[in-house]
């Protein structure tokens, strides 16, 4: 998947969060969107995911020669972010069964291999509401990265993870990158995006 931004801007009331973004995200590459907390990284990610409309400009999604409508882009992406909640009443087993009805497993993965990668086999029948914040973050990341989607959006991916969890995250990325996949990481911590091919500073697009 390729995403082309033509003079994209977003504002809240009279304040522009970012403006005049002209950029092309290419398939098979990883991009880091950088900026301090509150700078607009998450807002841009929401615009890219189609959950928030831009205030100006044009956003174009293409798969080869085929243009994908904004109302269909959700089928092509997976996302992990602090503002995306898990269904707490589900057990881990139920959450996996529910999620992967809508987003198939990435090629080369199945329930067993994803659980093994997650490292929470002993918590399979435990309700999500009893998971620690670090366990929840791992679940969010594995659901996003191990779904068969062309576009993976990760916002502050190592939040609530300890040092071992940060190493696990990088290992997860290594296991799930593919030539056709586009990764976009919103971050202000170098350890989260060192593997990225390109870096974009949201500050460059302030009015």
Per-residue pLDDT tens over the stretch 124-147: 999 999 999 999 999 999 999 999
Mean pLDDT of 50-66: 95
Share the mean pLDDT of the chain: 95
**In whole angstroms, what is the distance from residue 184 CA to residue 139 CA?**
18
**In whole angstroms, what is the distance from residue 99 CA to residue 149 CA?**
13
User: Order of strands across the sheet with 15-25?
Assistant: 15-25, 2-12, 56-63, 66-68
Instruction: State the residue range of the domain holding 42.
Output: 2-205
Report the SS3 class of residue 179.
Answer: coil
Report the SS3 class of residue 127.
Answer: strand
- Per-residue confidence at 206, pLDDT binned at 50, 70, 90? confident
- Per-residue confidence at 207, pLDDT binned at 50, 70, 90? low
Which CATH number covers residue 71?
A: 3.40.50.300
Tell the burial category of 84 from Cβ atoms under 10 Å away from its Cβ (0-12, 13-18, 19+): middle
| DSSP summary character for residue 108 | T
- Per-residue confidence at 51, pLDDT binned at 50, 70, 90? very high
- Per-residue confidence at 154, pLDDT binned at 50, 70, 90? very high
With 90 as the cut, is the pLDDT of residue 205 above it?
Answer: yes
Mean pLDDT of 25-46: 96
Tens digits of residue pLDDT in 162-171: 999 999 999 9
Mean pLDDT of 29-40: 95
In the 3-class helix/strand/coil scheme, how is 38-61 assigned residue by residue?
A: CCCHHHHHHHHHCCCCCCEEEEEE
pLDDT of residue 149: 97
What is the domain count for the chain? 1
């Amino acid at each position: 998947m390729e995403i082309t931004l033509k003079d994209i801007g977003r504002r809240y009331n009279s304040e522009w969060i970012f403006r005049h973004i002209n950029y092309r995200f290419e398939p098979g590459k990883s991009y880091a969107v950088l900026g301090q907390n509150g700078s607009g990284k998450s807002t841009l990610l929401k615009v890219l995911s189609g959950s928030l409309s831009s205030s100006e400009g044009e956003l174009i999604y293409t798969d080869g020669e085929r243009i994908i409508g904004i109302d269909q882009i959700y089928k092509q992406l997976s996302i992990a972010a602090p503002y995306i909640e898990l269904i707490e009443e589900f057990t881990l087993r139920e959450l996996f069964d529910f999620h992967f009805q809508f987003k198939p497993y990435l090629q080369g993965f199945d329930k067993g291999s994803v659980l093994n990668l997650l490292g929470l086999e002993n918590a399979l029948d435990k309700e999500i509401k009893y998971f620690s914040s670090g366990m929840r973050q791992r679940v969010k990341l594995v659901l996003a990265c191990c779904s068969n989607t062309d576009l993976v959006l990760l916002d502050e991916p190592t939040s609530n993870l300890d040092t071992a969890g940060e190493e696990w995250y990088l290992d997860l990325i290594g296991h799930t990158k593919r030539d056709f996949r586009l990764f976009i990481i919103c971050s202000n911590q170098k350890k989260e995006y060192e593997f990225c091919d390109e870096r974009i500073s949201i500050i460059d697009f302030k009015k």
